[in-house]
Amino acid sequence: MKTIEDVPLDHLIGMEVGTSTILKELARGGSAAVFIAFQRTLKRQIAIKILPKTLLTPEIAERFQMEAESAAILSHPNIIPIYEVGETGDFLFIAMQLIHGHSLSQHIKAAKKHVLPSRRYIPVETTVTIMTQVLDGLDYAHHQDIIHRDIKPGNILIESLSKRPIILDFGIAKVSRGLEHESSVIQGTPFYMPPEQIRNEAADRRTDIYASGMMLFEMLVSDLPLPRVHPVDLLLLKLKQGDRLFKTTPSEMNPRAHPDMDRIVFKAIAFDPGDRFASCAEFRMALLDYQDRHPGKQI
């Protein structure tokens, strides 16, 4: 099966795309590549995400278009701004703000390599700061009837200077307003998918709450206490185990986390959507309350 890694893209350097000129390749992943470009109209560097049509299937094209349409209507400091959407004879593209930073997944991996075992996870205070901002962005999107459906550390970019977390890739977002049916294909990342998404049931804001809860858990402990199994087996295990999926709590794995954090995490990732936080705003307030009750030094 052909992937983005198999597609030669060097010829795009110097090409004019929309109102921009492509300068250099930045990254590849999934079915798309990201380039740094110069937007001639406003004289600034931007990022352009490109999907070659040689990889195009109706499902991927629809997903890519949905990413653009979903994100383009959102305006929030923790959501990537979209500038332009279009296509050429060879590819589809989305022009967006160029953010200098690293993904949250890279920060988690870097912490895991720390020489001191006690520092092999992101500090609790930093975790709470990141998560409250992510939840604020998601709550805003939810009020626009948009569900992300693929929240994970790889889709959160931490800006280098401000340390601001920015939500990326609304590529499989569901626009709730006016959508009458769901795709028959399961979409998402197994680690972070809630049971209802595995069963291909309708997604709502609690889908993002579950994924955010799993991400919170991972930030607190670096390695989620899950068996190393095939992704399909993990999905089946989630359905079978329900709320018994985890045998270890965050506070047992991270001595700097208070047991109060366990209650927040497990409420967010409850098997039954009705047992989770009712909104990202409620989830965020629980974390802010935790921060007030358990203040600590930012490290």
User: How is 62-113 classified by DSSP, letter by letter?
Assistant: HHHHHHHHHHHT---TTB--EEEEEE-SSEEEEEEE---EEEHHHHHHHHHT
Q: Please give the pLDDT value at position 157.
A: 96
Mean pLDDT over all residues of the chain?
88
Confidence (pLDDT) at 174: 64
- Provide the 10 A C-beta neighbour count for residue 244: 8
Among 193, 204, 255, residue whose Cα is nearest residue 226: 193
The angle formed by the CA atoms of residues 63, 94 and 148, to the nearest 5 degrees, is 45
Return the SS3 of 27: strand
Measure Cα distances from 66 to 71, 91, 252 in Å. Answer: 8, 16, 41
Residue 7: the pLDDT is 86
Helix (H) or strand (E) holding 165: strand 165-167
Each residue's pLDDT tens digit, 167-179: 998 866 666 554 4
Region 186-198 average pLDDT:
82
Catalytic site positions: 150
**Per-residue model confidence (pLDDT) at position 182:** 46
- Residue ranges per structural domain of the chain: 4-97, 101-293
CATH class of 101-293: mainly alpha
Rounded Cα–Cα distance for residues 104 and 100 (Å): 13
Is it the case that residue 102 has pLDDT exceeding 50?
yes
Q: Give residue 63's pLDDT.
A: 76
Cα dihedral value 138, 140, 145, 146, nearest 10:
-40
pLDDT of amino acid 299? 38
Domain 4-97: what homologous superfamily?
Phosphorylase Kinase; domain 1 (3.30.200.20)
For the chain, the 3-state helix, strand and coil shares in percent, each to the nearest 5, are 45, 20, 40
Q: DSSP 3-state assignment of 288?
A: helix
The predicted pLDDT at position 177 comes to 53
Most confidently modeled range among 66-80, 128-142, 161-175, 190-204 = 128-142
pLDDT digits (tens, 9 = 90+) for 119-139: 888 999 999 999 999 999 999
* Mean pLDDT of all residues in 16-27: 93
Residue 48 · residue 17 · CB < 8 Å: yes
Q: Predicted confidence band at 181 (pLDDT cuts at 50, 70, 90)?
A: very low
φ, ψ for residue 99, nearest 5 deg: -110, 130
